[in-house]
Copies of this chain bind each other. A is one copy, B any other.
Amino acid sequence: MGSAVAPGLPSCESPSFFGRLGASKRVLSYSDCHSPLFPGDQDLLLAAAYVSDAQYNRNVPFETAPQAVRLYYFYNHWTMQAATYFFICVDLSLALFEEPALFPLPLLATSIAEVLCLTAFFGRLVHFAKVTPQMVFWKDTKNICIMVTIVLTLVDLILYGSLDAVNIRSIRWSRPLRPVFLINFPESRQIRRAFRSIRNTLPDILYVFLLFTFSMLVFSLMALKLFGDRRVHSWQFLHCLPRSNTPRVMPAYDFNWWYSLYFITYVIINTYIFMSVFLAVVYNNYRKHLKNEIRKLAYLKRHKMIEAFNILKVKVGPEFVVEEAQWRRLVRTVAPDMSSGHLELLLRISDEGQTGHVDKMNFLRLADLLNIQVVTINIKRHPLEAWVPRVYQSSASLLVQKVVRHRIFVWVFDVIILINAIFIALDEKNPFVSYAEWLFLSLYVIEILLKLYTYEPRAYFGRKQFWNWFDTLIIITALVATVANTTIQSARKYNSQQILDIVLILRILRLLRVIVTVQRFRVIVTTLINIGPTMLTFGGLVFVVYYAFAIVGMEAFHGKVQFFDPNFTTPDALVCGNPALKGSAFSRGRYCKNNFNDLASSFVVLMELTVVNHVLLLADGFALVTHQAAKLYFILFHIVVVILIVNIFIAFILEAFFVAYSLEKSEVETAIEKKIQELGVGIQEEEVQDGKPTDHVDTKDHGDNKRKALEGLYCRIASKKYRTVDALLQWMFESEIAPEDEGPSLDEILNFSPSDMYPKNPNFENSA
């Protein structure tokens, strides 16, 4: 059952139609409210409807789904999603081929491509309309957005095309709207969420920003009056926009100490204090809305599970339950490729008393149960032990194994890696250094061989043994590359620079290994790796902002600044091909390559503006070649990216670390995980996490009869799955709702607002 990522929450705004539609239609309407964290619950509700249908119409084959459901599945099929993404990519990359182009194509070609894309988007939208109740569809701003953008783009295309036909050059003003397709298609939930974050934060940040502007104006006014006749221009004070302070104003210090003190006060107030206030406001909003969203998701999930239970429930004795057969059919439907051992385990957990049916409480936990990744570990003997038992068990062999398992073995290789690092820094032309590299390589190979000798190879290369894979791949690649290079060198007497570069990067990557052996480092690295995927969301967000700004920049500044080869020293090259830049800091600093002449250049310029601080230098430069208003473009970009996005990014990282720290000492263990441990089939996560699965298995004897049935199956709970901020928060929230709490009504859930979440009187713990 594919990863049916369904449209975002906003489309759930009107749940009133639920009563009026049929069962499968009702189920589909839920799909809009799908939680991406626990894909299980969505599919479970759908599957429950299936199972229920199959039950009532016993003559209908189980596989025959209603038309709407099939259409829905087709909509969510990966090919359709891939096609959508393909067309989005094509549409966005058109900017590479349109004037000002990196690879020029005739207008006709790009226009046809764009129309094709628009058709595809429209088709996708129609398909979505088919599987969504009308009311929901039309109430969803996303759909309206897409439609409006399609219409606008068509209008623009026709206008531009007809004007071009009569040789009038106009502006393709609809191009900055293209990222709308990327944002508003259901698949980009995370980017939309980041945008929501920004939108929610705007009102609050606006006030701080006004205050900040006011403070800056007061300072500028004062500077203008007090130092105005002493060569300092008030525009220079904008240099101190947060995170863009430059030393350019400081030489003024040469002539006046008071000015220097004044400037320092200015920086402290406007950079440190206001930047902190910005961060506080952004973080506060981020946290508030994140928690609200998570609360919403958690209650929705519970609601859906209750709905699924209601579809399947049967009255047995005093209470409603789901029969074992139904339950099995349901799980089989949701997870067709689950091993039967795994299924038995889940049943054992859900139906503890082996009563032949699953009660409501246990049924509600099914989504969580399905989300627990159970890895079957077969504790097998080492192949060598099977082949040559006498040799493998000899005292020398056992000593080797003991040495390899010892902590010092790891440390020794850490030291070797560090020594290796020093050698990397040395000059590689020295023959001694290149021989040493061979020595290091062989040491690493020996290390891997020894480990393979000691540990069971299939366990060593287990699915979750990331660092073992990493190690081995790096060493093998380095070995192959070094050998290849030596061969080429001896045959053709020259070094291949590419291969050498690869070898070098591999060598440096090897250093990463040292980090993982230190526990304290691992916490930080793990958190960073866990939030890695979400950090990519910010990549998407930044891409959207960059794209819009790049298109606008290309329209405004295209061709104004030219880059010449540095060896080319005509007067034109010195002023970046524009006489207006003569003597400016822009041309003196050789910033000519910072131009908007094509999409790639524009992106690089915007990226630079984000991370380094010459925003005002460029603003000055481009204001010279076009108009003073050009400065606005750069200031606006700085505000959007540096004040808003960077702060949200920091807020996100802070939140991730705070959650990680608050969980550091507590045990992340749900009731379900506990039960698996109780059944005696769990392997402690820690033992495996070390990168070296040991043979030791939790063999406490309680529940021995139960274990018999599950012989051969050892479950490793992939509890790392919970270690993303969202999932952790959701887990925490769920563990706080009482199991019998059915939560508020769907209407209420969908209208949760962040402000009614906080208690009237905040308490000491959560206050700060």
A interface residues (Cβ-Cβ under 8 A, vs B): 207-208, 210-211, 214, 217-218, 221-222, 224-226, 245-247, 250-251, 253-255, 257, 260-261, 263-264, 267-268, 271-273, 275-277, 279-281, 283-284, 287, 291, 421, 424-425, 428, 501, 504-505, 508, 511-512, 514-515, 518, 520-521, 524-525, 528, 563, 566, 589-593, 604, 607-608, 610-614, 617, 646, 649-650, 653-655, 657-659, 661-663, 665-667, 725, 728-729, 732-733, 735-736, 755, 758-768
Contact B508 A221 (CB under 8 A): yes
Residues of chain B lying within 8 A (CB to CB) of residue A210: 521
Contact B421 A221 (CB under 8 A): yes
Contact A524 B767 (CB under 8 A): no
Residues of chain B lying within 8 A (CB to CB) of residue A268: 611
A–B Cβ pairs within 8 angstroms, 30 of them? A207-B524, A211-B521, A211-B525, A218-B512, A222-B508, A246-B246, A253-B604, A254-B566, A254-B590, A263-B611, A264-B608, A264-B610, A272-B650, A275-B650, A276-B654, A277-B524, A279-B654, A284-B657, A287-B768, A658-B767, A662-B766, A662-B768, A663-B762, A665-B755, A666-B760, A725-B768, A729-B764, A732-B763, A736-B764, A766-B766
Count this chain's copies in the assembly.
2
Contact B515 A614 (CB under 8 A): no
Contact B250 A604 (CB under 8 A): no
Please tell me which one of the listed residues B257, B280, B505, B761 contacts residue A654 in the complex, with CB atoms under 8 A apart: B280
A504-B226, A735-B761 given; A214·B511 CB < 8 A: yes
Residues of chain B lying within 8 A (CB to CB) of residue A525: 211
Contact A611 B521 (CB under 8 A): no
A282–B666 Cα distance when bound, in Å, is 21
Residues of chain B lying within 8 A (CB to CB) of residue A655: 768
Please tell me which one of the listed residues B508, B521, B607 contacts residue A264 in the complex, with CB atoms under 8 A apart: B607
Residues of chain B lying within 8 A (CB to CB) of residue A211: 515, 521, 524-525
Residues of chain B lying within 8 A (CB to CB) of residue A521: 207, 210-211
In this complex, what residue of B is CB-closest to A767?
Answer: B662
Residues of chain B lying within 8 A (CB to CB) of residue A214: 511, 514-515
In this complex, what residue of B is CB-closest to A665?
Answer: B758
Contact B592 A254 (CB under 8 A): yes
Contact A272 B646 (CB under 8 A): yes
Shortest CB-to-CB span from A287 to chain B, Å, is: 6
Residues of chain B lying within 8 A (CB to CB) of residue A614: 247, 250
A671–B151 Cα distance when bound, in Å, is 63
A284-B661, A524-B211, A767-B659 given; A245·B612 CB < 8 A: yes
Contact B247 A280 (CB under 8 A): no
Contact A767 B729 (CB under 8 A): yes
Of the listed residues A512, A653, A663, A755, the one surrounded by the most CB atoms of chain B closer than 10 A to its CB is A653
Residues of chain B lying within 8 A (CB to CB) of residue A421: 217, 221
Contact B279 A762 (CB under 8 A): no
A279–B657 Cα distance when bound, in Å, is 10
Residues of chain B lying within 8 A (CB to CB) of residue A665: 755, 758, 760
In this complex, what residue of B is CB-closest to A731?
Answer: B764
Residues of chain B lying within 8 A (CB to CB) of residue A591: 251
A735–B767 Cα distance when bound, in Å, is 13
A761–B590 Cα distance when bound, in Å, is 57
In this complex, what residue of B is CB-closest to A658?
Answer: B768
Please tell me which one of the listed residues B255, B284, B755 contacts residue A658 in the complex, with CB atoms under 8 A apart: B284
Given A225-B501, A272-B611, A665-B755, 13 other A-B contacts at CB below 8 A?
A: A211-B525, A217-B421, A221-B508, A246-B612, A251-B591, A254-B593, A260-B604, A273-B528, A276-B649, A277-B653, A613-B613, A659-B767, A666-B760
